[in-house]
Structure 1
Amino acid sequence: MGYREQPSTRPGIACLWSRDSATGGAALIVPDACVDVIWHRETGRLWVAGPDTGPHRSAVGPGTLVGLRFEPGHTALGVPVNELRDARVDLADLWGGRGADLADRLAHTSTLLAAQRLLLSALPSELDPAAAAIGALARRTGSVREMAERLGLGERRLHRRAVAAFGYGPKVLHRVLRFQRALALARDGIGQAEVAVRAGFADQPHLAREVRALSGESLGALVRPVAGPGQ
């Protein structure tokens, strides 16, 4: 399987990605606070992968997947993100005829680049005005009280806004973003003890417990080369 990722310069879009496989297969998807819109060229299926709270094993048949990944807190799908949490939903079920029309237009694209450009043009990102601030704070602290005080919000209001924008409450959002920070550091070749310190864990055992809880795997297993997401 060949997985390729192309960072996007557009605000709100984390990347465009694709995966080619002659035989299909399963992939481990771990929480990243992101929403993906994914098209499978061979079957024509167009679906949304919501933010996960734990590991998800996906199985996709052979062919080409084309995906667009929103930054955490960004979506253009017209529903609160918590309605997509831990879910895989056909876009037509959310958008009706608009989703079916987009799938038909994708089926008529002749190249991967054309399919990616169509997804970009059809899926403008939107950001809850408070989401950027919530996300920035959640990268630094898991204290709901501190986040609420810094944003001038009550804790319940903060929780409602975080859940609608990210699919998670602020404490879970912090855990997921910290986990992703640890993965990025480990993939850069940094040792696990230093990863724990730099990513904000209490110590290396704390890092190991959190990685296992969120992914079902050890950090070492996760940083081995993989084929990329199948969603």
Structure 2
Amino acid sequence: MLGPMYEERASRVRGAVAWTRAAAPPGTTGRVLPDGCMDLLLWNGELVVAGPDTRAHPAVERRGLPVYGLRLPPGAGPEVFGAPAWQLRDQRVPLDALWPAAAVRTLGERMGERIDRAADPLAELESAAAVRLAGRYGTAGGRRDAALLETVVARLRGGAGVAPTARYVNLSERQLYRRCRDAFGYGPKTLARVLRMQRALRMAASGVPLAETALRTGYADQAHLSREVRALAGVPPAELVCGWG
């Protein structure tokens, strides 16, 4: 969910979003919705990896500090963090459990220096991710793999079914499932559900009535939309839309 304390911008890391949430009082709780992505965060003063969610994740502020995040595009997380996405599903993991402790310490120190100078600390997250993504876009094989995953996301986001998507990218459904599980943390059916929910919530937040939103985003009706949003987010869509933007 977005809000007046939240700001984002396009990242210099291809397909990523750099975002900041202003400090909130300790004990403040929030709801992080599934979006098919993984994030690199400075949260509660610690560098943390947010794995791919299959349900809303409750976020609790412990120290009342700003949160800085880099939301990686779907499928890019494993390249950055060095682990298949399914291993991080529905988890928040300290970055030093995945990266060398010295690298994490250096990144934290550089971000702290930028915060002290009132400079943009997100630039350090972007630089760290860009180095690890160099192989993704720097070789022919890496570019082919990235293009395949981007195509899968685009087709599922557009409403294509799993079987047609698998045929389109010349994979069997079982192969597509394995690729999706490693890249996104779950299979293509779950990814499609998450992407469709995000599309529907953004459409509804723009002022489109829920009944029309449901039909335009591929749900059978408004009741179907409500059931899916409750299953993934834990609350009805109207409650989420009211807190959006």
Instruction: State the secondary structure of the residue aligned to 1:206.
Output: helix
Residue number in structure 1 paired with 2:5? 2
Residue number in structure 2 paired with 1:218? 236
Instruction: State the secondary structure of the residue aligned to 2:122.
Output: helix
CA contact (8 A) 2:12 2:126 kept: no
Residue number in structure 2 paired with 1:181? 199
Is residue 35 of structure 1 aligned with residue 38 of structure 2?
yes
1:223 deviates by 1.0
Residue number in structure 1 paired with 2:15? 12
Instruction: State the secondary structure of the residue aligned to 1:4.
Output: strand
What per-residue deviation string (whole Å, max 9, x for no partner) do you get for residues 96-152 of structure 1? 222232122222222564311111111124474321111112113463222211111
1:22–1:170 distance in 2 versus 1, CA, 3 Å: closer
* Structure 1 or 2: more helix by fraction: 2
1:204–1:99 distance in 2 versus 1, CA, 3 Å: same
Percent of aligned pairs with the same amino acid: 40
1:167–1:112 distance in 2 versus 1, CA, 3 Å: farther
Equivalent runs, 1:1-231 vs 2, <5 Å: 2-8=5-11, 10-13=13-16, 15-24=17-26, 25-40=28-43, 44-61=45-62, 62-75=64-77, 76-97=80-101, 98-109=103-114, 110-111=116-117, 113-124=119-130, 125=133, 126=136, 128-129=145-146, 130-141=148-159, 143-225=161-243
* Structure 1 or 2: more strand by fraction: 1
Partners of 1:112 and 1:165 in 2: CA distance: 35
Q: How many residue pairs get matched?
A: 224
Q: Which runs of 5+ in 1 are unaligned?
A: none
Q: What amino acid is the match of 1:55?
A: A
Moved over 6 A (4+): none
Q: Considering Cα pairs closer than 8 Å and 6+ residues apart, tell me whether 1 or 2 has the greater RCO.
A: 1
1:27 deviates by 0.5
Partners of 1:87 and 1:103 in 2: CA distance: 21
Instruction: State the secondary structure of the residue aligned to 1:23.
Output: coil
Over the residues paired in the alignment, what is the CA RMSD in angstroms? 1.9
TM-score normalised by length of structure 1: 0.90
CA contact (8 A) 2:89 2:185 kept: yes
Q: Which moved more, 1:114-123 or 1:97-106?
A: 97-106
1:180–1:111 distance in 2 versus 1, CA, 3 Å: farther
Q: Which runs of 5+ in 2 are unaligned?
A: 137-141
Instruction: State the secondary structure of the residue aligned to 1:5.
Output: strand
1:133–1:47 distance in 2 versus 1, CA, 3 Å: same
